[in-house]
Structure 1
């Protein structure tokens, strides 16, 4: 349990303004919401437009997966660096720099030329988009934390996480509409949003705070290499195989580098991440809950969209509406989670959210093979409600436990954990989906009389079609094999739905593990400047955290 420790004058720390130092809190929150909404929208908008991107640029499906994951990987690799730079250079300044990097990268993504260099171009600038987001997000979150006093911070951050997260729903809807014009517009749409964010930030008169410390460059390199290598191994396991030396060299090598990073951070005088914050059991539990929840939260955008377009033969707009069921539950429950946090602490919200999420994903997985989009909405909404309930409480509780450390450092930790988990989730579940789809499709095609060689070729094409139009991936040619292939597509779509069941059951298991972790939370609350027991805060509606 933390005690209130005043900053050491010689440490370079600054006093936190109790009421925002004269900043307009409403405008500051609105500016940060507009800024970070771009990062959330871009997590889903590309999944909807992927078939059009693949067709026009002639990308390989593995290349398209890298376009999706390069963004998340850069977020994970550079988030701690973004949080640290925010402390050293100033939260407002780094937010502005990150926004500019993000929007310039977005424009360049939309301007990708056709030809052999298209795939490399798109992956590079998706990665720099992630770098911009990694600079922007921790700085924006630190601004919100700094301008709101602790007694109002719970609801402010609940609005920040809930509304910005709910804006992810705009990604599919906007993506479906813009793709009908040109898929390039899904990147260009970030320009007006960034302009609004920058104008509101200027009007809010946000005070600048900074810490005069050195940047831990070796630590930044180690964490980026460790996360990059490990995610590379998981991502490439679908093509390299789980028995490949290269696969395990990347995974194990990445984890070893991360272990070296942790050991180095404990010894350096001014580390990139102050790992001492993990001595707080509540903070550690918050991180574990976020890690396992994020294995499902971000990947579900991609896999649900792909399932809708492949197994349900949905258009991009219809797939967007399918995802909307999830976001309706998420948006409503996120505000409920903020109220529970303010009144009873993080533990009851995390326990309820993880339980509802596990049940929702399991029921959703069970219904996938019915191939009826509108029959699945209660389970998608339940899964979304579970994530919405736990996300803001776990994130806010972790941030509030940064007493003795800076908010930029702690938000860097929380968001690094979240995005690293999301990148791993995309990679691992993508590998599972590819292998299971391949096996099921081979069985289906051979049982219908397709020769084994053609069945294996077709199965690989269908498995790779998770980022494109499955019909466009069918083998060409005429005669009996082509006829059998066309006649088998209904069964193949069911095979793909069954493969997705493995993914969604995996997400349910991840939420189940998060539920077990939530039980380890001590139940203390952060009120004022120090954690307290829930029972120590009398008043209407305030009950014990065990509830």
Structure 2
């Protein structure tokens, strides 16, 4: 399962590194490249809920394999894009298909891990799962930079051998498939995809369209209204896509609230820290990846500790400790972000990563453990949907704060160096957009005097301070949510079986195939 999901994590960051090469060879515009990056994330957010439900109905192993095949085939097709006028449409379409494959694969893969480990050992198992898969996100920039030096197409083709290994290992593991003969709520699936897709689209495009654009708010508000309609429909549906009564479980709701606010810090930190390292510290993309590894130096070990705390004491202590440590770490990191040296910052980066590592596994695992009737795929789909939506909100809001703060500071710098006021403002906007531009690549602006450039690097470091303080504030809210957790634990006796029908269907589906039982 780790081999399978590693592709989805790496793909979140690897494409942005190759963006300049893709733009140069295929002749795409920066906005067109942004759509190539966003299409994957948009599709991922839109179809997570459906992917989780399909995993429960058709069987976790079957949907995981199907999602892997869809993901890797579309990835290979992306790498084979022909030059010409249709290149952008080709990439956008198959990146969206790739996101759909990931939305099938990830909930099913996580559900497999949950299903084969007993509840008292899931903390340690999922700590390894989230620790390794999360750490792979930092490899995206490093791997992307190395592969792009050969050909940018390799960033898509590298998924093929990884997928082959994942499929072979899955078949060798002889994991049982446990389908459940229930209806698929296609109405709910359509509403979920439309609501999530439309609102995330508005958040993604807010920086391009502007927060004062009616189109931005039409997408965001329209998407939220559709999601509100989804809740009404699901409450009246016999076999809903999302079983709304699970939110009546206070612990489940708190787990998801903690994840929602914590992910405002965890997911965006890859983008902001990577660009900061390249602009303020003048690192190469590969060196920026190493800068991110400082975060995972704390995240990896702490995730193992968080998993063990979950197994022994429940999720509440780990979530409280993790949110508190993370908030302190991000606040200290923000205070020292203007020290343009990794040596002055690495301790606070490690503390920040440790805080996220402590809380991620307990919150995610405790939420999945509370699935009704072992609907692990459905619950995983819910938690991943909330995590992705949270990341979209955070990237949009914090990205806007970064852009406006940087523009103001660069304008002040240019004015101090004798640039006329009107020209200083337009130049500051252009420079700021060049540095923080999504999809079209990021980096220090060309054609700027070295003295001014050094000050712009400091301006960018200072502009990142409110971003990191915002991440710390989000973790403070997560801390307050964590304190509301009742502290109850799920035991093996609490887990209700999926039902006799599911068991019979599973036996029939396995036939002479997967005869091995769950991994002890």
What is the deviation of 1:393? 0.5
Determine which of 488, 494, 498 is the counterpart of 2:458: 494
Closer, same or farther: CA 444–57 of 1 in aligned 2, 3 Å? farther
What is the deviation of 1:57? 4.1
What is the deviation of 1:166? 2.1
User: Is the 2:334–2:464 Cα contact (8 Å) retained in structure 1?
Assistant: yes
Task: Quote the RMSD (CA, aligned, Å).
Answer: 2.0
Please give the secondary structure, in 2, of the residue aligned with 1:183: coil
Q: State the match for 1:24 in structure 2.
A: none
Determine which of 457, 469, 480 is the counterpart of 1:505: 469
Q: State the match for 2:301 in structure 1.
A: 332
What is the deviation of 1:434? 2.1
| C-alpha separation in 2, matches of 1:65 and 1:377 | 31
| C-alpha separation in 1, matches of 2:34 and 2:432 | 12
Please give the secondary structure, in 1, of the residue aligned with 2:168: helix
What is the deviation of 1:73? 2.2
Q: Structure 1 regions of 5+ residues with no counterpart? A: 1-31, 475-481, 532-547
| C-alpha separation in 2, matches of 1:392 and 1:137 | 15
Runs of 4+ with >6 A deviation: none
What is the deviation of 1:346? 0.3
Within-5 A mapping of 1:92-111: 92-111=61-80
User: Is the 1:150–1:527 Cα contact (8 Å) retained in structure 2?
Assistant: yes
- What per-residue deviation string (whole Å, max 9, x for no partner) do you get for residues 113-135 of structure 1? 44554444333322222111100
Q: Structure 2 regions of 5+ residues with no counterpart? A: 496-520
What is the deviation of 1:55? 4.4
Please give the secondary structure, in 2, of the residue aligned with 1:434: helix
Please give the secondary structure, in 1, of the residue aligned with 2:175: coil
Determine which of 420, 425, 431 is the counterpart of 2:400: 431
Please give the secondary structure, in 2, of the residue aligned with 1:287: helix
Q: State the match for 1:37 in structure 2.
A: 6
Structure 1 length-normalised TM = 0.85
Determine which of 150, 160, 163 is the counterpart of 2:132: 163
What is the deviation of 1:142? 1.3
- What per-residue deviation string (whole Å, max 9, x for no partner) do you get for residues 381-432 of structure 1? 1111111111111010011111435112111111111122122222222222
Closer, same or farther: CA 488–245 of 1 in aligned 2, 3 Å? same
2:111 counterpart of 1:142: yes
Q: State the match for 1:350 in structure 2.
A: 319
What is the deviation of 1:153? 2.3
Q: State the match for 2:204 in structure 1.
A: 235
Q: State the match for 1:530 in structure 2.
A: 494
Answer with 459-468 or 382-391: which moved more: 459-468
Answer with 397-406 or 121-130: which moved more: 121-130
What is the deviation of 1:347? 0.5
Closer, same or farther: CA 114–494 of 1 in aligned 2, 3 Å? farther
| C-alpha separation in 1, matches of 2:23 and 2:273 | 18
| C-alpha separation in 2, matches of 1:189 and 1:381 | 30
Please give the secondary structure, in 2, of the residue aligned with 1:369: coil
Q: State the match for 1:187 in structure 2.
A: 156
Closer, same or farther: CA 434–81 of 1 in aligned 2, 3 Å? same
- What per-residue deviation string (whole Å, max 9, x for no partner) do you get for residues 364-385 of structure 1? 1222222213321111111111
Within-5 A mapping of 1:99-138: 99-138=68-107
Closer, same or farther: CA 54–496 of 1 in aligned 2, 3 Å? farther
| C-alpha separation in 1, matches of 2:21 and 2:476 | 36
Number of paired residues?
Answer: 491
Q: State the match for 1:177 in structure 2.
A: 146
| C-alpha separation in 1, matches of 2:85 and 2:413 | 35
- What per-residue deviation string (whole Å, max 9, x for no partner) do you get for residues 339-376 of structure 1? 00001100111011111111111111222222213321
- What per-residue deviation string (whole Å, max 9, x for no partner) do you get for residues 264-321 of structure 1? 1111111111011000000000000111111121111111111111221111111111
| C-alpha separation in 1, matches of 2:275 and 2:237 | 45
User: Is the 1:288–1:514 Cα contact (8 Å) retained in structure 2?
Assistant: yes
What is the deviation of 1:54? 4.2
Please give the secondary structure, in 1, of the residue aligned with 2:490: strand
Answer with 359-368 or 343-352: which moved more: 359-368
Q: State the match for 2:507 in structure 1.
A: none
